[in-house]
Structure formats: structure tokens, C-alpha cells
Amino acid sequence: MKIFPIFIPNLGCPGGCLYCDQRLNSGVAQAPTPEEIAERLKQQLPEAGLDQIAFYGGSFTALSLSLQNNYLQAVQPFLGSGQVDSLRISTRPDCIDGASAARLRRFGVKTVELGCQSFSDRVLAASGRGCRADSFPLAVTVLRDAGLSVGIQLMPGLPAGTDDEARNSLLSALMLKPDFLRIYPTVVLAGTRLAIDWQDRRYRAMSLDHAVDLCADLALICHEAEVPVIRFGLQASVDLDANGVLAGPYHPAFGQLVQSSLWLRAMRRLLAGRQTHVIQVHPHDLSTALGQRRSNLGRLHQQNPDLTIEPCNMLTRGQIQIEQTTVEMMAFAAGTGDRFE
């Protein structure tokens, strides 16, 4: 899915979320007006090759009706011209009802991302979300009934959150049968109220290794449920990279770290008790299998000092060839892969 993003940082948000600063996340200081959006799309939207225009970074359906309509009107010419197929918005689950879902649909919105973040009321309250988890199922239902595709965003590591809570939140989200998930562990952004709590030691941020490991567990649960995760971790931005993050598991290639962790788990299980010298993977999987700075290979060398991981064009993505046998990486990462002799 190729998306042209328009950021409306924190527009419509009630402002309670302790951890959030969409200006820092997006690098956009102020939401553009509908007129500015129309002008920018005229100049920058390619004739072809994109699927959606997305309004990100705010609570779209919490905006005044007239502003929502003006934004949606501003992008209609680009739907009509066929330059994009549909629209996408992100919003809060407690700001969706049947009327708003139907209106979005009428304007060509096809996908709604719901910032649920956690399904624990304790975590939602501690994070200043100002909503309860029992509002989430209704939001998903009305969006579905309006024919919209629904994504759920989750944030492990919020105040009062635990690993078990993150797993349970994911299981609750999966029970709502979302079309996709976006999972980004909490980081401490400069200037937020969470930053004060972190400085005063009332909040402890997750380490990068811990977050990668937890997200690898979550990835396996999603794989089993056959629900795609479209992104792990925050999108890298110049502002985040330049001192925007005070603490927490921020990494510009966080998703790749999660994938590498899954490859390491799978290869360890496959190699247990063997002195195999060669593992083959699809060429596009090679760098992820090797790990950042070949860290996976270094760890595997502790048991198999002569091991090499090589590319093989005969394999498909996600496959591992070992001793003339081809297996699925995710099955072995999950520990459910068939044994082979």
C-alpha cells in the first residue's frame, strides 16, 4: 500500500495523552489548512503509483464537522482524477459513531486506523487517554458496518503497562478481527508529560532489547492469527533522531530488529544439537537473517563457529534451507515447526 501522508499534528485531540507529541513524531509544526493541502497535492501528488491519501497524527473525527468536511473536500479532486484510489484517516475509538463512519465512507475513506493503544482501563487511565476500552468494540463494529477497513494501533510499555498487559491487549484487539495492526512501543518524547514522569522516576522506559523481544512475541501471535502488522515502532524522523527521544526503545529500523530477532529464534531452534555449516535464505532476507552488524551470526557462532548464512534464489521470502530441507522461518521462530532429521 503506497500512501501520501498529510499530518495534522494533534488536531482534534483532547490533549490528555501523557506520551504524545505528534509535532515531534511527524516533524510537522502545524496542521495545514484545506487550501494548503489542495495546493500541495496539486504540486506533489504523482500522476500514478499511489493508493491512498492519509490524514495522520490527529483525531480526525473529533474535528468540527465543517473542518472534517473541508479537509475531505480538498482531496476529492485527486480521487476523481484517479491519482489515488481512496483515503485513510487515524482517529480515537471514542470519537467514532455510525454517522461519522457513514460520512467518511461517502467521502471516499476506505481505511480507518484506531488509536486504541491498550485494552487495559488501568493503563488507559494512567496514560491520560480519557477513554475506556469498552468503547473499542463499538467503534470497530460501526466502521465495519459502514464497509471500512479497520486497523488498530497498540502501544506496549505505556504507564502501568506490563508485558502481560501488552499480550492481553493484543489478544483483545485480535478478537475484534482488525484488518491490520500497528504496534509501537512507548518512547519518552521531549516536552511531554511522560518526560517529566520519566525525569522524576515515576515512569521507567522499556529497554530496546526488551521491546524487540516483546514485539517478536507479539509478531508471532499476529502471524498465528493471520493479521498483518503494517509497522513495528515509530517512523523515523529528523526531529526524533535529533534528541527528540529522551528514553525508551526508539530505533530507526525497529521493525527490522524485530524481524531479525524472529530469524535468530528460528535459526537457534533449527541448529540445536547440529553442527550444520550452511543456512540458506532468500537474498532479500539475508541482511535481516544476519542481524544488524551481523549480530545474529555472531551469536550463532558461539555454538556453530563455522556457520555461514548464504543467499539462495531458489527459496521464497521467509524460508530457510538447511541440510537440503526447506522450512518456514516463522514456524520455527514460534517453536511449532516440524522436527526434521
- Using CB under 6 A as the criterion, which residues of the chain lie in contact with ligand SF4 when the complex forms? 10, 13, 17, 20, 22, 58-59, 92, 115
Alpha carbons within 13 A on the beta-carbon side of 102: 3
* CB of 93 or CB of 291, closer to ligand SF4: 93
- Measure Cα distances from 96 to 10, 91, 101, 179, 237 in Å: 17, 8, 7, 17, 29
* CB of 22 or CB of 280, closer to ligand SF4: 22
Q: Are 42 and 209 in contact (CB under 8 A)?
A: no
Query: Which residues in 166-307 belong to E strands, given as ranges?
Result: 180-183, 188-189, 229-232, 245-247, 278-281
Minimum distance between the CB of residue 129 and ligand SF4, rounded to whole angstroms? 7
For residues 110 and 73, what is the distance between their CA atoms, to the nearest angstrom?
Answer: 15
Minimum distance between the CB of residue 191 and ligand SF4, rounded to whole angstroms? 13
* CB of 13 or CB of 28, closer to ligand SF4: 13
Minimum distance between the CB of residue 11 and ligand SF4, rounded to whole angstroms? 9
**Cell numbers standing for residue 172:** 483483545
Minimum distance between the CB of residue 136 and ligand SF4, rounded to whole angstroms? 14
Three-class DSSP labels, 13-55: CCCCCCCCCHHHHHCCCCCCCHHHHHHHHHHHCCCCCCCEEEE
Minimum distance between the CB of residue 292 and ligand SF4, rounded to whole angstroms? 29
* CB of 116 or CB of 264, closer to ligand SF4: 116
Minimum distance between the CB of residue 14 and ligand SF4, rounded to whole angstroms? 7
* Region of residue 69 (left: phi > 0; alpha: psi -120 to 50; beta: else): alpha
In the chain, the amino acid numbered 170 is L
Closest listed residue to residue 3, CA positions, set 109, 123, 96, 87: 87
Minimum distance between the CB of residue 278 and ligand SF4, rounded to whole angstroms? 47
* CB of 20 or CB of 309, closer to ligand SF4: 20
* CB of 158 or CB of 329, closer to ligand SF4: 158
For residues 309 and 329, what is the distance between their CA atoms, to the nearest angstrom?
Answer: 14
* CB of 245 or CB of 266, closer to ligand SF4: 245
For residues 234 and 232, what is the distance between their CA atoms, to the nearest angstrom?
Answer: 7
